[in-house]
Structure 1
Amino acid sequence: MSHVTSNQPDGTPTWIDLRVPDLDRASAFYGALFRWEYSSGAAGGPDAAGGSGLGTVCLLRGKPVAAIAQAPAITGSGSDSGSGWTMYFATADCDGAARRVEEAGGSLIEPPTDIGDLGRAAVAEDAVGARFGLWEGRTHLGCEVVNEPDSLVRNDLVTPDPGPARDFYTAVFGYTLDRNETLPDLDFTFLRRGDGHEIGGIFGSPAARSSAWATTFEVADTDAVVHRAIAAGGTAGAPEDTPYGRMATVTDPFGVEFSVIRRL
């Protein structure tokens, strides 16, 4: 169990949001999946507070864990169409981090912008085309519950071009790299903050059609979540046991793919 009560250290995944063409349907799906409740209004991050301005904060026991926002209808599916979960890295200086993004070969989709008194945010693409956000928290810290069932537990970059991706993130956030020896047959590199804390990883996959940050939620029962996802109008792959826990891939009614895991 992990409750967040202050801004996370720089480079830590701190918030996630999702834009969908049907907010009511998305709220029903994710509520059935994760037992989330909702608080209407502009949510943290430009993806949730921008556009139509209609968004909802997803709550777990009254604490924010994500946001979902209404967006125009999207053609295509998943992160290739820009409709996937957007992960935001914590930063004490959004403008400085945005400059480093451009200096390292990335680009800004949405430049640093104040989101009321919630914080300052930007949305960017890295050097291999994966989208992510930057969040300088003020009154909105980000996810206040993580690493427990029905909350965010992990983010990993899946890319066919891992070399430039590793160079980019070490330049922007000062991460150190550590090869995953548990899965020696895979091209998987841990990303660690300066204090040694692992914040995620980069998975080199030649089969990946594009580069994207993959979102993983912790659950109490992977098989039960798969059944609920299908019943609520999504799809899911068969659960599989891994060295880290029992995992499954879920796709929501809009084609957005994410993972769930019951950790060992």
Structure 2
Amino acid sequence: MPEVTTPYTPGTPCWVDLMAKDQQAALDFYRDVLGWQGEVGPAEFGGYAVCALNDKPVAGIGPAMAPEGQPTPPTVWTTYLSTDDADATQRAITEAGGTVMVPVMDVGTTGRMLVAADPSGAVFGVWQPVDFIGAQVVNEAGALVWNELHTGDVDAVTAFYRAVFGIEIALMEGMEEYYAVNVGGKAVGGATKLSHDPPGTPPHWLTYFAVDDPDSTVDALVKRGGNVFVPPFDMPAGRMAVVADPQGAAFAVIRPVPM
């Protein structure tokens, strides 16, 4: 199992979480479909649950809470990019044309976080680790394996993520309209044009979880009330599907081609 024991390089996706209207239903669903262990967390952290795979943190599921006077946020998976200075990153986001949605806050002694949107409108989180580095198992069945930016303006977001995180977004070798999200010369995610999504889809970061068998995973997901946006199909990186949980949170599952 690929375990992560040291902090992620700044700019690297390091964590994903979901704010669900029915937290317990979400915990039960992902337990059944991806094999996670998780339970409602302590009250001082708003009940936030750190889900585990074989006792290693893999993702978070919390209860959706609306800011005072605001509607409840949509049920979506959020990708967090690592930083070593959340305050400096927040300033850089604003200076580069992004929008800070949740300002920097301390999360106990685990770390510091914020939520923002890039200039195209794709929402992402930022995580500065203290006691908690993020996902401690990745690239394994049931764990995070890829994060993909869907945007209507590749040029604008390329300049933004470079200025804020030092990320380079460039065409992936052998692909016509698919881009690699590179940190330190290594692909840590992907990017694609929003025109490939159904009309009306907003800019977003899509979370991919690895599975051993996408077809049986999709069958299990449907039986538990999930929905299928794109049925399992073969593509250069493996066999994948795009789906949603019963509360509407979209994500992808993939059986990657062995490296």
Q: TM-score, normalised by structure 1?
A: 0.89
Partner of 2:143: 151
SS in 2 for 1:213: strand
Moved over 6 A (4+): none
Q: How far apart are the structure 2 equivalents of 1:89 and 1:16?
A: 9
Is 2:185 aligned against 1:196?
yes
Q: How far apart are the structure 2 equivalents of 1:17 and 1:42?
A: 17
Query: Residues 42 and 201 (structure 1 numbering): CA distance in 2 closer, same or farther, change over 3 Å?
Result: farther
Deviations 1:84-103 (A, max 9, x none): 11111111111111111111
Partner of 1:260: 253
Query: Residues 208 and 168 (structure 1 numbering): CA distance in 2 closer, same or farther, change over 3 Å?
Result: farther
Deviations 1:136-170 (A, max 9, x none): 11111100000111000011111122221111111
Partner of 1:77: none
Q: How far apart are the structure 1 equivalents of 2:191 and 2:231?
A: 24
Q: 1:63 aligns with which of 56, 64, 85?
A: 56
Matches within 5 A, 1:13-92: 13-42=13-42, 49=45, 53-72=46-65, 82-92=74-84
Query: 1:147·1:153 contact (CA, 8 Å) conserved in 2?
Result: yes
Deviation, 1:205, is: 2.4
Query: Residues 27 and 39 (structure 1 numbering): CA distance in 2 closer, same or farther, change over 3 Å?
Result: closer
Any gaps of 5 or more consecutive residues in structure 1?
74-80
Q: How far apart are the structure 1 equivalents of 2:42 and 2:89?
A: 24
Deviation, 1:72, is: 4.4
SS in 2 for 1:230: helix
SS in 1 for 2:205: strand
Is 2:161 aligned against 1:169?
yes
Query: Residues 261 and 8 (structure 1 numbering): CA distance in 2 closer, same or farther, change over 3 Å?
Result: same
Matches within 5 A, 1:70-219: 70-72=63-65, 82-184=74-176, 186=177, 188-193=178-183, 195-206=184-195, 207=199, 209-219=201-211
Deviations 1:180-223 (A, max 9, x none): 23322x2x221211x21112122112246321001100111111
**AA aligned opposite 1:226:** V
Query: 1:39·1:59 contact (CA, 8 Å) conserved in 2?
Result: no
Deviation, 1:177, is: 3.1
**What percentage of aligned pairs have identical amino acids?**
39
Partner of 1:232: 224
SS in 2 for 1:40: coil
Any gaps of 5 or more consecutive residues in structure 2?
67-72
Number of aligned residue pairs = 247
Q: How far apart are the structure 1 equivalents of 2:200 and 2:209?
A: 21
Q: 2:234 aligns with which of 236, 241, 246?
A: 241
Query: 2:194·2:201 contact (CA, 8 Å) conserved in 1?
Result: no
Deviations 1:216-254 (A, max 9, x none): 001111111001101111012321000110001111111
